[in-house]
Structure 1
Amino acid sequence: MVDLNRRNLMKSSVAAALGASVVGIASGSETEIPESDTSSAPSVVGDIKRFSTTAYGAEVTGPFVFENGGLLYSLQHPSGDNPEPFDRAGVGYFSGFTFELDGDNDDFEEVPVPTSDSAQGKVRSANHEYVLLGQGREPINGGSERLGVTQTPDGNDISLDNFEGTQYGGAATNPDCNQFVPTDDAGTEGYLFTNWENSPGNVSRIPISMTEDGEWEADLENAINLANTEPLRELGGTRINCYGDLSPWDTMISSEENYAHPRVSLTNTVGDIVDAGSGEGMIGGCQFWNRPNPSDCTENLDFSPQGYWALSGVEFLAYYLGADRIDQGSDANTTEPISDVYPNPYRYGYHVDFREPTADPPQPVKYYVMGRAAWEAPNIQADRKTAYGLSDGDNKGIYKFVADEEIDSYDDPMDIEGTLYAPKITNDAASAEDAGVRNNPAETDLVIDWLPLGHASQRECEAWIAEYDDVTQVDYLEAHTESWSEGDEVTDEVLAEADRTVVEDGNQNYITNEEIVEWARQYEENGYDGVDEELRRVPFLETRAAAKEIGASIEFNKAEGVDSRDGAGPGEFVYFGISEFNDALADEEGDIQLDRIDGGIIFRGELEQDYNVSRLEPVIVGPDFVPSDRQADGDDGVANIDNVYVMDDGRVICCEDGFKAGPANFPNDGLYVYQPPVDVDVESLAIANGGSGEADLTVSSLPNGFSGARVTVSTSDDGVAEFTGASYDDALGMTADPKVAADGQSVELRVADLDGEIQPGAQNVTLGTLELDADGTGTTDLEVTVHDIDDEGGSEIDVQERMGMVVTGPPAIGGGPAGGQAPTDPDGDGLYEDVNGNGRMDYADIELLFENLDDESVTMNVEAYDFNENGQIDYDDVVELYEEQ
C-alpha cells in the first residue's frame, strides 16, 4: 500500500496559518477508556434543544427553512400502523411557526418526549401542527403520475404492484431531501424539490405558495416526477436519491446514495485481493452488478459482500430504461439474463444538479468529476469551486472537490474540470498506534491532509463512463463461464461458475483489479498527474477503491450529513455528521483508532482562506448505547445523526436516524436545534519575512446583541512576530487606544457599542483588526483572552476562545532580487515555491535556488525548500521544483 503521509504536521500548521483557527480541546487519556463507557458521551459544546419528534417508524429527513423562518421536513417510511395521515410517507411543514433567525433557541419551546402510543404515532412539536403538503403515491400531473413513483418509458408505474422482483424500498415510501427554489422576490411562491430514496430513484417538483394567512399550499395537479422526464432518463436516471443541497446558484442538488458501489468489503483493498489471488471474503457487492438477479449473489458465496443488498432494484432500473420485461417468478427474480438494455454502474453514485429549475422540465447535470460514492450529501462553498461530500456506509470517505473555475461559470457544464481529493488523518492523537493510547473521540480533533486523487473534466469522465454502456447480464455469464453463450439455459451450475470466477478474478466487464493496482503504483511513482492516460479514469469511476489503495483514511462509518451556512466564508464552519463512531474508527488498524461511541459525533471544521478544512473538532457527541447511558428523556444529545442543516443565523438543525437503536426510552427519532457557542476568534495569517500583516478579531454570533468587551491577544513565541497596533470598526461607538505591550507580544482592545449598531442576531462581528510585523522565521500561536464581554442587556456572554496562528516565511535568498522580496508559499503547503518572492512560480525561482543551495538562508530553512521531502537540502530539490512548474 502506498504511504502518502507527506509533511503532514507541517502542512496542517501552515494550513491553519492561512485561515483556520484551532481550539484547545484535544487531549489524550492517561489510560485506555473502556469502549463500553466513554466519557463525554453524550455531550454538547454549546446548547441543543429538541424541536420535534417524528412518527413511529420514520426517520427525520429533509429539513428546510424558508426565508421567513418556516420549517418543513419529510416523513420518511413511517409505520403503516400509525393513525392517518402519519401512516404514509410525505412532506409537511409546521403551521404557524417561524424561526426568528437571531441565533437563539428561545424562539421555540422544547417538545416533551412521546410517552403514549398516540404521541408516538404522529409528528409532534410543542405548539405547532405538522401539515402535510403531499404524500407518496398521490395523483399528480393531471393524474398521469403518482407522487414519487418512477415509470417505464411507456408510462407504467415501477412498483411491486406491477412488477415482480426486488426493489430498493417501496415506491414513494422514502422522501428525503427538500429544497425550495422561489419564483418571486418575496419567497412566497416557487418549487419544492423532494428526493425519493428508492431504486429507480426520483426527484419530484411541486409548485407551492404561501396563502395570505401565512400557510403553505401545494399544487399537486401541476407537480411532476423528474425521473419521468426525458432529460433525466437520457442520463440513465438515478438511484437512491438521499440528501442534497441548495447550490449557491439556487438549484436543487440531489445526491445518489449508491450503496452498491463498494468494490471491496470493509477494510480490504483491491491490492489485498490481487496479492491473495482471490476476493474470497474481500470482494464488494458492485462486482455482481450485472449478474442475473444480482441481490441474490450470496447464494453461491460463503460470505456477504459489502453493499450487495443495495443491488435490489437494479433490474427495475433496467425496466425504467426500457428493457424488455423478463418473465419473473412470484417471489424472486429469474436467472434469465436481461440482454437488451441494462444500466451502466458507472452512471450512478453522483451529485445531480437540476439546472434551470423553473423550466419544463429542468435540465439535470451529474457531477461525474466529483467522484462516485454512496453520497449522502454535498456542500458547495461560497467560492463556488469547493465541494465537500460524505459517503454513507461502513469504511467510507469524506471527499473534497475543487473546480478550476466557478462551477456555474462554465457555459457548458460538461466543461467543468477540477481536482478530486481524499482525506488523510495525520495527527498522532487520532491513532492508538502512534499515540500509545486509545483516545476519546469526544475530546480529540482530527487533522486532515487532502490527497489529490486526480484531475479531469466532466467531458472526460462521461467518455470513460460511456465505454461501459453496452454491458448487460449476458456479458456477465459469457465473460465468466467456459461454455455458456446467449440463448443457453442459465442453470444453477452456470451461475455458480460465473460467481466463483468473479470472486477469484474480479468482474472483467468493468475496470479490473489490475488496473486499479497499476494506477496506485504509478500514482506513488509519478504523482496523481503522472499516471497513464488510460488509468486516469480510475479515481473518478472507482473513487473508494482508489482512495483506499493509496492509503487515504477511508474509515468513516455512516458519514451522513455535511452543511455550512449559505454564503459562509473563511472563519465560519462546515458541519460533518458521523452517525456511528465505531467499526473502522474504533478498531486497531488505520489512521483513526479511537474509542467507540455508537451514537455518533458531529464535527465542525473551520473554513480557511481558500475554503479548505484541515481540522475537525467534535461539538455534538452521541450516547454510548450502554445501560449506564439509558436516558429518561433523551435530552443529552443527538443519537445517530443523519441530515444536518445550517440555518442563516448559524444554528444547526440535527436530524436523527437511530430508530429504536439508541438508549432513549422512547422509539421516535427527533429533530434538534444546535446553538453553537459564541466564539471569539483571531484570524490566522502568513507574513513574509520582514513584512507585516493584519488579522481580524471577531465574534461568531451575538444572539442577544452586544454592549462591550475587553480582549487581549498575545503570541506564544517571542522572535516570530510582534504586535504594532490595532484599529476598530467605525460602527463601534467607543473604543480605547490599543494597549500594545512593551515587548510587542500582546495587545489589548476595549470597545463599547454606544448606539446599538450591532443588532441582536449579528454574526461574524469584527471587534478589531490587529497589526503585526514579522521578526523572524517560524510560527507562533495567537492566544485570545476574553476579560469581559456583555450582551445588549448587560449580561455576560459565555464564549469559547479560539487561537489563531502566524507563520513567517524564510528571508530573501542570497540577498534576493533588487527589491529584496522574501519567498512566498503560493499554495499554502508549507513549501516556498516562489523563491524570488515575485508572487508566482517561474523559472527564475529554479535558477535562484540552484545558485544558492549552500546559502544560509536556504540551509537554515530546510522545511521551506525540501521539495523532495528527504529531510535535507540537495540538488533533487531543484529538480522537484522544476517539475512543479
Structure 2
Amino acid sequence: MVEFTRRNLMATSVAAALGASVAGVGQATEPEDPDTPRAPLVRGDLTRFSTTAFGAEVTGPCVFGDGTLLYSLQHPDRENPAPYDKAGIGYFSGFQFTFDGENEFDELSTPESNEERRAVRSAAGDYELLGRERDPINGGTELLGVPQTPDGTNITSENFSGSQYADAGFTPDCNQFVPMNDDGTEGYLFTNWEASPGNISRIPLSQTEDGEWEADLENALNLANTEALRELGGTRINCYGDRSPWNTMLSAEENYGHPRVSMTATVGDIVEKGTGKGLRGAHEFWNRPNPSEIQSAVDKYYDESWYVQGYWAITGVELLAYYLGADPVDQSSSGNDLTPIGDTYPNPYRYGYIVDFREPAAETPEPVKYYVMGRAGWECPDVQTDERTVYLASDGDSKGIYKFVADRPIPSYDDPMDVAGTLYAPYVTNRDAAVERPPADVDLEIEWVELGHASNAEVESWIAEYDDVTQVDYLERHTDWEEGNEVTPDILEAADRAVVEDGNRDYVTDEEIVEWADQYERRGPDGVDEELRRIPFIETRAAAKEIGASIEFNKAEGIDSVEGARPGDYVYFGVSELNDDMSNEQGDIQLDRVDGGVVYRAELESDYNVSTLEPVIVGPDASDPADIADDALINVDNVSVLDDGRVLCCEDADQFGRSYKNDCLYVYTPEERGRGDDDGGDHDRGHGNDPDGHDEDNPGRGRGRGRGRGQFL
C-alpha cells in the first residue's frame, strides 16, 4: 500500500493553480514543438486501409462475423459530392478480413487529388452506404439520427433556435452489430449519434446470398424517442461504445460538460484560495439560463478570465430540456433570451454513463444506465471476459482512465439495478514517467485507487435527489431574484459571480467533496459518512483528483481487447494527444510532448487487472513534415481489436504537416516478441530523429517507484 499526506500535496497544487490563474487555467501559451526522439514510431506494422471523405472522422469501426468492415462517415464537409456530403453508415462491399494475422490488402496510397480527398477510399472493396442522416425510418414517422420531443416534433435547428451541440443526424459514431441467428447474417446494427439530446438508432440488417448487406430502414428506430429511454432522462453525446460479452450494445455518454474544476485544479484548490475564480469548470453552470454562454460572460466579467473547461459541451442542454417535455422559452433568431426554463430541466447527474440496451431484439430494448461505473466524459468501455472487470476512458483534457469491478458477473444479476461493485482510478507510480523522456521509452506503471463501493440502485437514488432543479433555481438560489420577475443581465451576472465564488449550491458542494476526501484519508474509502458515499460516483473526476489519482490523461479515446480475451491477451488504450498534463511539470506524468498521441497496450493478468501500459504506437510531433506525417497515425480515436489480434486504429486528426487533411483508418499488426529483445531493427518502424527506430540517447526504462498519493487498497 502506498501512502501520502494529501494536504502536503494540496499546498503544492494550490500554488501551481494560483500561478496558472493569472493567465487563465488552460490558456497558457502553446510551447514550441521540439522533435521528440522516436516519434513517430510503431512496434510492429501500421498499414493504411482507408481515407475518409474531407471533413469527416473515421468513427465506429465494426467487423461482422464474415470479416466485412463497416464504419461511420461522421460530419463530412457539405461541399463534398454526393453521397459524401451527408453523414452516414457504410460497409466495404467486396472485402473481408480473414483473421489469419496477415493483411489481406496492399496499403492504400495517400489522397492526391481533390476528387480523392472528397470521397471515401479503401485499399480493397467499395464503400456502400446503408443509411444517411435524416433518412425516413420507422414507417416514415422519424428521421435517422434525429430525437423528438414527446409530441413528436423533430429537434432540429429548423424547429428550435438556441445552442446546438451538433446538427441532428450529422454525427454517427459507434456501431455495434448484435446478431440474431447462428451464422451472423441477420441482426440489429446499433449506432450512436454524438449530439445533445443524444440518440442511439437500431437498424435491422441482413446479408444477401451474394454477401451484400441490406438495411431495413422502414423498421429502424431512434431509441431516443422510446418512452423507456426518455424515462431515464435520455442521453447526451453518445460517442463510442462496445458490444458486451452478453451480446448487447453498450453506449458511452461522452458528457464533456461534467468538469466542475478546470484543467489541473482541484476542489481543494478552490477551498484553499477562498474563491473559484480561475478554477471553475462547466458543470457549475449547467442550469444557468443560456449555459453555453458562460465563457463569454466570464471573459466580460473578469479582467483575468480563464478557460471554463467543458463550456462548449453544455450547448444543447436546453434542447435536452425540450426533449424531456419542457415548454420552450421565448426565443429570438440569435438564440434564447434570459427567460429561465422552470418546468422541466435535465439533472446533470443523469448524464455521463455507460448505457446497456438489454433485450436488443425486443420491440423496445430495455435501457440500463450503469451509474455505479462512475460519471465522466466516457469515450468507451471495455468489458472483460470475466463479465466483472470494465476499463473505461474519459475523453478530454486532464481526465482519467478508470476501472470498475463488479462483485459478481454483471449478467448474473436478475435486476441490473442491483449490479454492485468497486470503482477505481489510476495512479502512475514509476519515476521515469515523471521526467522528460520520450513516450516511446516509458511504460506507465499503474496502481488502482479504490474510490468507493456501491450498487447501481444506490447511486440512482442519490442522483434522484437533484431531479427537480431548474434554471429558475440557479437565479433564486444565488441572488435575491424571485420567479415571475424580469431577468436582467445584472441579475444573471450576480448569479454567475456567486457561483464562481462559492460554487453552485443546487448540486454537490465544494465542502462536501473536500470533507469526503478528508474522511477518505483518515478512514479509507469504506469509512466515509453515508451521505458522502455518493461523491466518487457522481463527481468522479473531482473526487479522483482530490485524493491525488493520476487524472492527467489527455483525450483517452479508445479501449478495446480481443473478443473473449483471457489473461495474457492485451487491452489497447488510445491516447489521442500526449501533451498538457501528460507533458507539463505537474503531476505523475511529465513525458516529452507528442501532439500526435500514443497507443498503449496492457497485458491482462490472472485476475483481469492491468498494471503496465506499454507504448506500441507513437504519433508524430506537430512540427514533423509531410514525409513523416503522411504515413503516421495522428490523434488516434477509436481502436478495435480483430479476432486475430490486429488492431483497427481510427483517426480524428489535426492535419499537422500532412500533405492532405483526410482522416485515415489503419490496421496495426503488433510484433510478437517482447520489448526486452528490442534491438532497434525492423520491428520498430521509426521516423523523425531515429529513422530506424533505434535511439542510443535513450537506453532502457526505469522501474523505480514514485512518491505515494492516496490510500491505494
AA matched with 1:601: V
Write the deviation string for residues 221-246 of structure 1: whole angstroms up to 9, x where unpaired: 00000000011000000000000000
TM-aligned CA deviation for residue 630 of structure 1: 1.1
Q: Partner of 2:23 in structure 1?
A: none
2:608 is the counterpart of 1:648? no
- Alpha-carbon contact 1:258-1:374 (below 8 Å) kept: yes
CA distance in 2, matches of 1:99, 1:62: 17
TM-aligned CA deviation for residue 625 of structure 1: 1.1
2:372 is the counterpart of 1:369? yes
CA distance in 2, matches of 1:541, 1:176: 25
- Alpha-carbon contact 1:260-1:308 (below 8 Å) kept: yes
Larger radius of gyration: 1
SS of residue matched to 1:423: strand
SS of residue matched to 1:449: strand
TM-aligned CA deviation for residue 784 of structure 1: 8.8
- Alpha-carbon contact 1:140-1:224 (below 8 Å) kept: yes
CA distance in 2, matches of 1:429, 1:83: 50
2:39 is the counterpart of 1:41? yes
SS of residue matched to 1:516: helix
Say which of 347, 350, 362 aligns to 1:347.
Answer: 350
- Alpha-carbon contact 2:439-2:591 (below 8 Å) kept: yes
Write the deviation string for residues 182-201 of structure 1: whole angstroms up to 9, x where unpaired: 11111011100000000000
Q: Partner of 2:621 in structure 1?
A: 624
TM-score by length of 1: 0.72
Q: Partner of 2:22 in structure 1?
A: none
CA distance in 2, matches of 1:176, 1:194: 7
CA distance in 2, matches of 1:440, 1:298: 35
AA matched with 1:496: E
Say which of 176, 180, 198 aligns to 1:179.
Answer: 176
SS of residue matched to 1:619: strand
2:501 is the counterpart of 1:498? no
SS of residue matched to 1:357: coil
CA distance in 1, matches of 2:194, 2:486: 35
TM-aligned CA deviation for residue 332 of structure 1: 1.7
CA distance in 2, matches of 1:314, 1:262: 15
AA matched with 2:384: Q
SS of residue matched to 2:639: strand
AA matched with 1:477: L
TM-score by length of 2: 0.90
CA distance in 2, matches of 1:304, 1:476: 21
- Alpha-carbon contact 1:111-1:126 (below 8 Å) kept: yes
AA matched with 1:170: D
TM-aligned CA deviation for residue 119 of structure 1: 0.3
2:423 is the counterpart of 1:425? no
TM-aligned CA deviation for residue 331 of structure 1: 1.1
- Alpha-carbon contact 1:556-1:584 (below 8 Å) kept: yes
Q: Partner of 1:677 in structure 2?
A: 671
SS of residue matched to 1:422: strand
Higher RCO, 1 or 2 (CA under 8 Å, sep at least 6)? 2
Query: Where in structure 1 are there 5+ consecutive unaligned residues?
Result: 7-32, 433-437, 682-782, 787-829, 831-868, 870-879
> Which structure 2 residues correspond to residues 773-784 of structure 1 after superposition, within 5 A?
none
TM-aligned CA deviation for residue 633 of structure 1: 7.3
- Alpha-carbon contact 1:50-1:635 (below 8 Å) kept: no
AA matched with 1:263: R
Write the deviation string for residues 524-568 of structure 1: whole angstroms up to 9, x where unpaired: 000011100000000000000000000000001110000000110
Q: Partner of 2:291 in structure 1?
A: 294
> Which structure 2 residues correspond to residues 170-209 of structure 1 after superposition, within 5 A?
170-209=167-206
Say which of 552, 556, 560 aligns to 1:559.
Answer: 556
Say which of 659, 667, 675 aligns to 1:665.
Answer: 659
Write the deviation string for residues 450-509 of structure 1: whole angstroms up to 9, x where unpaired: 00000000010000000000000010000000x201111000000000000000000000
Write the deviation string for residues 354-412 of structure 1: whole angstroms up to 9, x where unpaired: 00000011000001000000000000000100000000000000000000000111000
TM-aligned CA deviation for residue 118 of structure 1: 0.4
CA distance in 2, matches of 1:514, 1:260: 21
> Which structure 2 residues correspond to residues 208-227 of structure 1 after superposition, within 5 A?
208-227=205-224
SS of residue matched to 1:494: helix
Q: Partner of 2:682 in structure 1?
A: none
CA distance in 2, matches of 1:193, 1:161: 26
AA matched with 1:123: V
Q: Partner of 2:685 in structure 1?
A: none
TM-aligned CA deviation for residue 5 of structure 1: 9.4
- Alpha-carbon contact 2:55-2:76 (below 8 Å) kept: yes
CA distance in 2, matches of 1:784, 1:197: 43
CA distance in 1, matches of 2:5, 2:183: 51
Distance 1:497-1:115 versus aligned 2 partners, 3 A rule? same
- Alpha-carbon contact 2:65-2:184 (below 8 Å) kept: yes
CA distance in 2, matches of 1:73, 1:47: 22
Write the deviation string for residues 731-774 of structure 1: whole angstroms up to 9, x where unpaired: xxxxxxxxxxxxxxxxxxxxxxxxxxxxxxxxxxxxxxxxxxxx
CA distance in 2, matches of 1:577, 1:173: 24
TM-aligned CA deviation for residue 439 of structure 1: 1.2
TM-aligned CA deviation for residue 136 of structure 1: 0.8
Q: Partner of 1:310 in structure 2?
A: 313
> Which structure 2 residues correspond to residues 125-524 of structure 1 after superposition, within 5 A?
125-301=122-298, 302-432=305-435, 438-481=436-479, 483-524=480-521
- Alpha-carbon contact 1:206-1:220 (below 8 Å) kept: yes
- Alpha-carbon contact 2:33-2:622 (below 8 Å) kept: no
SS of residue matched to 2:519: helix
TM-aligned CA deviation for residue 108 of structure 1: 1.2
SS of residue matched to 1:632: helix
TM-aligned CA deviation for residue 631 of structure 1: 2.4
SS of residue matched to 1:666: coil
2:68 is the counterpart of 1:93? no
Write the deviation string for residues 263-318 of structure 1: whole angstroms up to 9, x where unpaired: 10000000000111111110000100000010011243133310011110000000
SS of residue matched to 1:85: coil
TM-aligned CA deviation for residue 261 of structure 1: 0.2
AA matched with 1:639: I
- Alpha-carbon contact 2:59-2:72 (below 8 Å) kept: yes
CA distance in 2, matches of 1:431, 1:636: 30
- Alpha-carbon contact 1:58-1:659 (below 8 Å) kept: no
Q: CA RMSD in A?
A: 1.9
- Alpha-carbon contact 2:261-2:280 (below 8 Å) kept: yes
CA distance in 2, matches of 1:288, 1:34: 34
SS of residue matched to 2:386: coil
> Which structure 2 residues correspond to residues 797-876 of structure 1 after superposition, within 5 A?
none
CA distance in 2, matches of 1:635, 1:117: 16
TM-aligned CA deviation for residue 126 of structure 1: 2.3
- Alpha-carbon contact 2:445-2:612 (below 8 Å) kept: yes
SS of residue matched to 1:544: helix
Q: Partner of 1:847 in structure 2?
A: none
> Which structure 2 residues correspond to residues 33-112 of structure 1 after superposition, within 5 A?
36-105=34-103, 107-112=104-109
TM-aligned CA deviation for residue 785 of structure 1: 12
> Which structure 2 residues correspond to residues 539-618 of structure 1 after superposition, within 5 A?
539-618=536-615
AA matched with 1:651: R
Query: Where in structure 2 are there 5+ consecutive unaligned residues?
Result: 7-30, 299-304, 680-704
SS of residue matched to 2:640: strand
TM-aligned CA deviation for residue 148 of structure 1: 0.2
Distance 1:94-1:633 versus aligned 2 partners, 3 A rule? farther
Distance 1:129-1:217 versus aligned 2 partners, 3 A rule? same
- Alpha-carbon contact 2:190-2:201 (below 8 Å) kept: yes
AA matched with 1:267: T
- Alpha-carbon contact 1:59-1:659 (below 8 Å) kept: no
TM-aligned CA deviation for residue 635 of structure 1: 5.4
CA distance in 1, matches of 2:359, 2:600: 34
TM-aligned CA deviation for residue 211 of structure 1: 0.8
SS of residue matched to 1:474: helix
